[in-house]
Structure 1
């Protein structure tokens, strides 16, 4: 595979010893992610691979179509090793695009349709994409025009691919028809030739971090580790052929790829794909015979919906994104539906509650790691001193799918990893025994992060953007509780010479800066001065959080 000349210097791989161990233990397997799909299609060809609305694709159909799309991308001149920005929605064509890019040896960069110039410009600077795949039609924003504008602003040539319809701009290339004229046998030969150049530690995907400072850092996901991530989760949850996993969160996102796509597909199970809309969740589960469903924070109340009784095939419900009210899990348990939790990150490490855990442990904890080779230590924050069992410490980890270093971020990596290579997650956890089983409980975060409906907002990034407004002298961003989303962003500001500033002006400022809307503050509080911790002069964020908690779900 041909990579950009400087890629080896930017990419931190696993050691030779770690690779040998993971291969010996059967955790890493050849071939590549794309060829794993081909093998599964040969074994489960007639089974549904994806169901989305009225569209159904079997594994055999998905394999054939993605071969042709990949051959079409190759014929277009997009060479293996090139990065491709993704700004797409939850559709069958997005699933096709994912595997087609991988089969063409291209590197999907998992951004969101909500990202704007502030985010895309920096992510593109880091990954140097050769193409940008966007939804042809978006009622909220012209992504096609945006993609061309981003390339022009960067002064680069970049192929703009569109999906889910033709674009008005004739310069755009319609991915959904690419390669239709290529014979399926010839397309397979093209794909096999590309895949033959890949190894277990070849770069496969770029994900984005939600937990680092500033604009998201880039996470390099490698072929064997990233496949192992999804396959380990599938085994932990007991998925197999015939299971149908309903997924309604963004699919082109780490959770979507692992829980919705590659996890189910690794065992011949079906992705039932919906859109992020709570009003459609019940119908999606009931009408498509889902056996499993992932519920993010905005979907938690589906567990309490009486209509769920009609979901006679539903066996497992997985909660993610915030602490789960015990009553939600108890209601499901009373109906004979297993309910559990999952805690994971784009950087790797994932924990989930085992199927045989008692309800009390499933309700109070996020369980245990999904892979037998996952290593966890809880350190006193900022140190490498382990805390005693039952005490709260920073979650540090390494393992067969946890990153060894952010992409092209040597200086940051020196801070983000321990001296012996464990990733410092910034999350606080405790190891406890609940109802007789050992498990881990989430106790908060060291890093100042806000989790809004599962999307992470970095407070430092937003504070810098707030402070760039002429009227703002100092800014602090904290979470305020929200029943539906878990948390929303509340901004406290001190203004220059007592100038007035309101939420509308702050949001207009963020729009001018082309910041994704989910990051915009949803309440603004003007203070005469920031409360401080007297001993060190730092902003007293704990006091600000107490104030923000009083707002709750009040209108801003």
Structure 2
């Protein structure tokens, strides 16, 4: 029998003939992610799966503990394809909770601890979760448990499950849930299979609330295998992860890769560049991944020579591979990944022009990539900038419960329109891609992508502001930050950056979305057809920052 065993309304599935082809060809895996862990535990029960904060958990222990929590979830009344909101950090507890959901057929909604009322509320309305996993110490100086309790009351989420902290009254901890029915197992369940939904991931996108992306047991594992094989990862290889665990990249590298390759993953809950290098040395790490603000910290770490990095075979990053390789001597490779189902990258053996000056090639030979002239269905030529469009075994076939968005997100022949601009070029006989920016008005702050729509809506409510527009401005550490162009109400004084931030947080906005610079203006630029010219605003602030940096450099030189 093929096809999902338990379909979920609002999910767009692969056509049966296409799914059958992927399974027969071995492009998709034929087992669920819960069964992948069970298999790893049978084969290498004593091998360490995760290392975190001095704690080491073997595959056998991970399998047993996640099985107990899975039984506990079912004992609460959760059924196959019920959703569970997640706000947890980079810890072993997160791995246990995620695998428990995989085994119980519960679908995690992979939000991040930094989300607040605006984002979590909208996600809760869309996904209707029946449980809420929250890590008590995930965010410094913020009571995430009380926040989860408030959200749960407002959106009628029956069960809040707390990790690394005290439960709510009549609530549960991760540990107590594992004791509900000790000794029972879900291993024999046939209620869902490899073509069923395994997780809801989020797209940063250009709208206020991230769009929900269904990922499936079979395709998700196949996607990870094609990516990891590109880096020549082998059975038992050790990796290190110091980023959010529930992002798509975190799920792929720290969760799925771990069980597929019977790999050890070192988790760093808090970023610290010295601890990062120390862990690579002490745990004999072979593969390291980094993005955003971590890349410059790695490249500029002044104590690299004091650490033995001889085990490290590859470092891959969304930016800054050249500087990292120069600093560490380890082959480093740029890459591009999108939650909608495409990874581009080179290999450690690729020409430097591919590894450092492009984002590489598709990992799967079954991925089709096409660049279209923006706003058209016409293909861009080699060397010409075009919108990235793709389709393949792991490509999105439709956002969850979003028919209107889906109607404009694909070409007539089923290629997903990414909204990212790329340029194709031939490097030593291979077509590689260069990232050239985005068509849509979203901001990528250190790997956290967000749209400007909800920020602007809240800004417009401020009593001193007549109107405001938010665009990306360049930043040496985070890549981009948000800049707000504001028009003051008559007779009013615009707020400072700090005052505006306090106001937006009080309205429920996540902190990482806050504008970090304000530019006062009397009007916004428009295009020839009278529409807001965001490109002009981005260019304006980029030029102003460049001039300020140049003046600062000249000032330091004169002072020397």
TM-score over 0.5 for the pair: yes
Distance 1:498 1:231, change over 3 A: farther
Give the whole-Å Cα distance in 2 for the aligned partners of 1:44 and 1:342: 31
- 1:407 CA displacement: 0.4
- 1:307 CA displacement: 3.1
Residue 542 of structure 1 aligns to a residue whose secondary structure is helix
Give the whole-Å Cα distance in 1 for the aligned partners of 2:256 and 2:8: 26
- Equivalent in the alignment of 1:542: 535
CA contact (8 A) 1:361 1:437 kept: no
Q: Structure 1, residues 242-262: CA drift from partner, whole Å, max 9, x if none? A: 311111000021111112221
| 2:141 aligned with 1:145 | no
- 1:84 CA displacement: 0.4
Give the whole-Å Cα distance in 2 for the aligned partners of 1:150 and 1:390: 49
Give the whole-Å Cα distance in 2 for the aligned partners of 1:276 and 1:486: 20
Where structure 1 has 5 or more consecutive residues not aligned to the other structure, the ranges are 1-5
- 1:182 CA displacement: 4.3
Please show how residues 189-208 of structure 1 align to structure 2 within 5 Å.
190-193=186-189, 196-208=190-202
Give the whole-Å Cα distance in 2 for the aligned partners of 1:297 and 1:382: 29
- Equivalent in the alignment of 1:316: 314
CA contact (8 A) 1:212 1:458 kept: yes
Match 2:285 to one of 287, 290, 300: 290
The TM-score normalised by the length of structure 1 is 0.92
Relative to structure 2, which stretch is displaced further, 484-493 or 44-53? Answer: 44-53
- Equivalent in the alignment of 1:252: 246
Q: Structure 1, residues 248-301: CA drift from partner, whole Å, max 9, x if none? A: 000021111112221233111111111241343222222222111112121113
Give the whole-Å Cα distance in 2 for the aligned partners of 1:434 and 1:306: 34
Q: Structure 1, residues 142-191: CA drift from partner, whole Å, max 9, x if none? A: 1111112112223x242000011323x3222011242246454x32xx23
CA contact (8 A) 2:206 2:453 kept: no
CA contact (8 A) 1:450 1:478 kept: yes
Distance 1:494 1:147, change over 3 A: same
Give the whole-Å Cα distance in 2 for the aligned partners of 1:378 and 1:455: 25
| 2:157 aligned with 1:175 | no
Distance 1:92 1:463, change over 3 A: same
| 2:298 aligned with 1:302 | yes
CA contact (8 A) 2:420 2:438 kept: yes
Give the whole-Å Cα distance in 2 for the aligned partners of 1:31 and 1:58: 21
Give the whole-Å Cα distance in 2 for the aligned partners of 1:275 and 1:437: 39
- 1:384 CA displacement: 1.4
- 1:202 CA displacement: 1.1
The TM-score normalised by the length of structure 2 is 0.91
| 2:400 aligned with 1:399 | no
CA contact (8 A) 1:389 1:432 kept: yes
Give the whole-Å Cα distance in 1 for the aligned partners of 2:8 and 2:84: 18
| 2:256 aligned with 1:262 | yes
Match 1:347 to one of 333, 340, 349: 340
Give the whole-Å Cα distance in 2 for the aligned partners of 1:99 and 1:312: 32
Please show how residues 42-57 of structure 1 align to structure 2 within 5 Å.
42-57=42-57
| 2:375 aligned with 1:382 | yes
- Equivalent in the alignment of 1:480: 473
CA root-mean-square deviation:
1.9
- 1:88 CA displacement: 0.8
Give the whole-Å Cα distance in 1 for the aligned partners of 2:282 and 2:475: 30
Please show how residues 29-48 of structure 1 align to structure 2 within 5 Å.
29-48=29-48
CA contact (8 A) 2:152 2:160 kept: no
- Equivalent in the alignment of 1:109: 109
CA contact (8 A) 2:46 2:58 kept: yes
Residue 192 of structure 1 aligns to a residue whose secondary structure is coil
| 2:63 aligned with 1:63 | yes
Please show how residues 181-260 of structure 1 align to structure 2 within 5 Å.
182-184=181-183, 186-187=184-185, 190-193=186-189, 196-260=190-254
- 1:325 CA displacement: 6.2
Match 2:435 to one of 442, 460, 465: 442
CA contact (8 A) 1:286 1:308 kept: no
Give the whole-Å Cα distance in 2 for the aligned partners of 1:434 and 1:172: 58
CA contact (8 A) 1:357 1:437 kept: no
| 2:371 aligned with 1:369 | no
Please show how residues 70-149 of structure 1 align to structure 2 within 5 Å.
70-137=70-137, 138-149=139-150
Residue 408 of structure 2 aligns to a residue whose secondary structure is helix
Where structure 2 has 5 or more consecutive residues not aligned to the other structure, the ranges are 1-5, 550-560
Distance 1:174 1:183, change over 3 A: closer
Give the whole-Å Cα distance in 2 for the aligned partners of 1:325 and 1:237: 15
Give the whole-Å Cα distance in 2 for the aligned partners of 1:478 and 1:126: 27
Give the whole-Å Cα distance in 2 for the aligned partners of 1:203 and 1:48: 28
Give the whole-Å Cα distance in 1 for the aligned partners of 2:245 and 2:166: 21
Give the whole-Å Cα distance in 1 for the aligned partners of 2:230 and 2:41: 22
CA contact (8 A) 1:164 1:176 kept: no
CA contact (8 A) 2:470 2:482 kept: yes
CA contact (8 A) 1:368 1:440 kept: yes
- Equivalent in the alignment of 1:360: 353
